Structure 1
Amino acid sequence: MNMLFKKRKKKWLAGLLTFCLLCLSGCSGAGEESDTGTSDEKTEKAAEAEDPEKKYEVVYLDMSKEEKTRAQERLAGLMEDCREIYAGAEKGSADDVSLAEDVVHEMVEAAAADGDAVTCASYDYNMRNYESVDEALQKAMQGKSGKAEFYKLTVSGAFQYYGLEAEDGKLAVTYGNAVFQEDMGIEIRQLEKFQVYDWEYTEKGWLIWEKALSKNQEMDMHSFCRILPLPEKCRELGNAYILPVSYFCNNLFLADWNEENMDSIEFNDLYEFLYAMKYGAELDEAAYQGGIPKAEFEDVIQTYFEISTEELEQTAGYNAELGVYPWEPVRSWNRVPQVQPFPEVVECRENGDGTWTLKVDAILVVEGLDCSFSHEVTMKERDGGWIYLGNQVDREHAIEIPGYKPRMEY
């Protein structure tokens, strides 16, 4: 059961319970009170009733000297394991560190060599040594006590420590954030402990918590971390062919299509994403304000699709007079303003005819959903790479599918 459905169910049940209590209060004697719930729960509810804004505030917890020392030492130890790799990597400017994903993954492997649970914050790499975290969270979901630690490494050069403490179904998190300074000294930038407002460890292996109740999407308080690993084939194809395209301002994975019918695909809006996949660099928007030259457009699209030039000319609105395919960069006025989910390939099935079916779940962080909707992508290998053969969206079970509109008339 996904987290949003559970939250909606909780809200419905809460409303029903409130209605029942109001009815009962009308029949009960003056001064009678319900005796349900623990004293802590009653105190929390009373505080929220007195000040409704409290549920939007983070509940910070005091940290003992020992807890602070441990978190700092654990962070320092992690960073020492990564020091040599970090020092030798391209990092951009000192004020705006930007590491390549491969560098972050290399540091994850180095840090995990001591047996620590470590992952990449970009959702594109399996957590190493996840077993102890999984075991603790499984106990916590049953209302038992449990403790665990893990780390996240980011492309911005931040090293993050998470200490989890579960008790009676509640979860407290100790969080630390540190960076290397220019002289490679270690700077602890943040160290805190808080009680999460709501949390879940999903069947798929996502640890999701809400630090405090989120007022809106701009003030979202959700944190996501995949604990259980995905199969390597899912990681490989997802990182190479699904995540780079995603759902932002193109409809490759939002429309239903197959080899016989590609008319619903807006190849023009898809072009820059495939260009980046093919060449490993972003498209220079300024160089293509008049459209994409015929040969360049067809070379990129036909790298990833079995589509004839004649069909592509018709589908993508080729302008024979100018010799270009129409294209317009993403702007605020030609896109649907919305929070974007990101795709995760959760299953790869070999079909026996040389094709593969990838089951993809869209993760929507701001709603606490490890699956806002699902779709299946059909692919096959060709010339050392992979091509797309079809996409089918499961609309029946979808909770929220991103909107899409073409950037221009093609």
Structure 2
Amino acid sequence: MYRRGVIALCAFLALLAGGCGRHSSADDGGRKEEGAGVPFEESIQIANGYGDIYKKAAKEDADGTLEMTRLIVERIGEEGYAASDYDNQVNMQNPDKVRTFARKVEEKKEAGVSLFIVNDSGGFTRYDLKTADGNVDVVKSSLYWEGDTPKSDYKEEYRTKTWVCDEEGYLFFERNSLSGAGSGRVAVRLQPLDDSCRELNRKYLLLAGYHQNNMFTTDWNEDDYGNLNLYDLYEKLYMMKTGEKAPYEFAFTGRTYEVPEEEFEAVFHDFFQIDSQTIRQRTIYHEGTHTYQYRPRGLYDKGTTPDVPFPEVVSYEEEGDGTLKLTVNAVWPKKSLERAFRHEVVVRPLDGDGYQYVSNQVVPSEDNVEPEWYMERLTEEQWQEYYGGNG
């Protein structure tokens, strides 16, 4: 169930990520200057250097796992390169190379560095960066595996439109034109993060995230659920519970479903300490049929932007009552913000792998952004206006 959620998340984060490279010196024996050209042969040599890890994982059906990615990142790091992964789930190796380059950008001096980001298929994207006069030029190339053979044959060149580097946090950069697929945004964490924080983030935050729901952007608790929208959460929780999509499909003409009460309430009882009466007060429940009305988001309230922040647990506390309080930053590559806002999520671990969400509170700050990516669901009046009762 986790892997499915993370694969979906990877599709979003793969549009954002990048990686780093090796410092040239007099002992390099004539190797290319960092950030110069497209060293396809060098990339293949690097991949052959960790080929044993990739081939062993593929043989054991462990390719695509976080452990394989971590081992590859560390192996590239051992060769003197700065390396990370697409999902920022592994601490960057040799981040000082990136920090040094970033200082040269700020000082408007000439410098070069190569940046590698490993993907869950065992390949990587390579950004060869050069700077002069405060500009950053990029040669982007990629490496993939064809069977047991590494291949590197793609390149793209551009000058960055955005370059933001917090040496104690994230590096963000973005190409100056949107030729080709994706936004061209790169977001890579330089500062190490405790593995426990990442594990808690994967378990409790990433699968729900901030897309098309307000669970982590509004204040609520078990005594007062505030503006929490349960309809927003139904499909998210259904996937988290079953590993499958809810069987209630979007329709351009609008569609209304009647969901049996046992099915609808079960997903909330699994993830919240909430009674049936509270669920019914916050939704539309039909007593006669023992069903809940459910309308998937449609053409007029689906929202179109994939550029939403992603959560990152940066610290946690074990509370006396057995709950965990997680401090979470919303990282927003679109705005080059490693803290678009901060919130505290309290969860209650249960026996086995189960858990319940207890509360969420947004930490007040003048720097907090409004969740402009979130679109409210249509009201009953709006639904009738747009769809004319077609459901």
C-alpha change, 1:145 and 1:264, in structure 2 (3 Å) is same
Within the candidate set 36, 46, 55, 1:84 is matched to 55
C-alpha change, 1:295 and 1:74, in structure 2 (3 Å) is farther
Partner of 2:200: 237
User: TM-score, with normalisation over the residues of structure 2?
Assistant: 0.72
Shift of 1:261: 0.4
Partner of 1:163: 128
Deviation string 1:4-31 (CA, Å, 9 cap, x unpaired) is: xxxxxxxxxxxxxxxxxxxxxxxxxxxx
C-alpha separation between the residues in 2 aligned to 1:345 and 1:357?
13
Within the candidate set 127, 150, 160, 1:186 is matched to 150
Partner of 2:235: 272
Does the Cα contact within 8 Å between 2:256 and 2:293 map onto a contact in 1?
no
C-alpha change, 1:371 and 1:284, in structure 2 (3 Å) is same
C-alpha separation between the residues in 1 aligned to 2:133 and 2:119?
32
C-alpha change, 1:220 and 1:408, in structure 2 (3 Å) is same
Partner of 2:173: 209
Q: SS where residue 286 of structure 2 aligns?
A: coil
Partner of 2:368: 398
Partner of 1:44: none
Shift of 1:380: 3.1
Deviation string 1:197-222 (CA, Å, 9 cap, x unpaired) is: 4412125421112321679xx98443
Partner of 1:365: 333
Does the Cα contact within 8 Å between 1:230 and 1:346 map onto a contact in 2?
no
C-alpha separation between the residues in 1 aligned to 2:160 and 2:190?
18
Deviation string 1:62-102 (CA, Å, 9 cap, x unpaired) is: xx9946787323321332214405644769xxxxxx94656
C-alpha separation between the residues in 1 aligned to 2:356 and 2:75?
34
Does the Cα contact within 8 Å between 2:214 and 2:374 map onto a contact in 1?
no
C-alpha separation between the residues in 2 aligned to 1:128 and 1:342?
24
C-alpha change, 1:111 and 1:276, in structure 2 (3 Å) is farther
Shift of 1:105: 4.5
Q: SS where residue 199 of structure 1 aligns?
A: strand
Does the Cα contact within 8 Å between 2:167 and 2:191 map onto a contact in 1?
no
C-alpha separation between the residues in 1 aligned to 2:270 and 2:182?
41
RMSD over equivalenced CA pairs, Å: 3.7
Letter in 1 for 2:369: I
Q: SS where residue 208 of structure 1 aligns?
A: strand
Within the candidate set 351, 355, 359, 1:383 is matched to 351
Shift of 1:245: 0.9
Shift of 1:408: 6.2
1:133 maps onto 2:98 in alignment:
yes
Does the Cα contact within 8 Å between 1:346 and 1:358 map onto a contact in 2?
yes
Q: SS where residue 74 of structure 1 aligns?
A: helix
Letter in 1 for 2:239: A
C-alpha change, 1:405 and 1:286, in structure 2 (3 Å) is closer
Shift of 1:281: 3.5
Shift of 1:262: 1.1
C-alpha separation between the residues in 2 aligned to 1:144 and 1:69?
19
Structure with the bigger percentage of helix: 1
C-alpha change, 1:169 and 1:307, in structure 2 (3 Å) is same
Partner of 1:38: none
C-alpha separation between the residues in 1 aligned to 2:64 and 2:379?
35
Shift of 1:177: 0.9
Shift of 1:104: 4.0
C-alpha change, 1:166 and 1:269, in structure 2 (3 Å) is same
C-alpha separation between the residues in 1 aligned to 2:135 and 2:348?
46
1:175 maps onto 2:140 in alignment:
yes
C-alpha separation between the residues in 2 aligned to 1:347 and 1:157?
27
Does the Cα contact within 8 Å between 1:121 and 1:152 map onto a contact in 2?
yes
Which structure's CA Rg is the greater one? 1
How many pairs align? Answer: 338
Partner of 1:347: 314
Shift of 1:108: 3.5
Letter in 1 for 2:265: E
Partner of 1:74: 42
Letter in 2 for 1:398: N
Deviation string 1:25-54 (CA, Å, 9 cap, x unpaired) is: xxxxxxxxxxxxxxxxxxxxxxxxxxxxxx
C-alpha separation between the residues in 2 aligned to 1:157 and 1:329?
37
Q: SS where residue 79 of structure 1 aligns?
A: helix
Does the Cα contact within 8 Å between 2:310 and 2:332 map onto a contact in 1?
no
User: TM-score, with normalisation over the residues of structure 1?
Assistant: 0.69
C-alpha change, 1:124 and 1:328, in structure 2 (3 Å) is farther
C-alpha change, 1:270 and 1:210, in structure 2 (3 Å) is same
Deviation string 1:131-169 (CA, Å, 9 cap, x unpaired) is: 443444356545566544331122466521223344554
Within the candidate set 222, 227, 248, 2:190 is matched to 227
C-alpha change, 1:194 and 1:268, in structure 2 (3 Å) is closer
C-alpha separation between the residues in 2 aligned to 1:269 and 1:85?
42
Shift of 1:257: 0.9
Unaligned runs of 5+ in 2: 1-29, 384-391
C-alpha change, 1:140 and 1:127, in structure 2 (3 Å) is same
Letter in 2 for 1:381: P
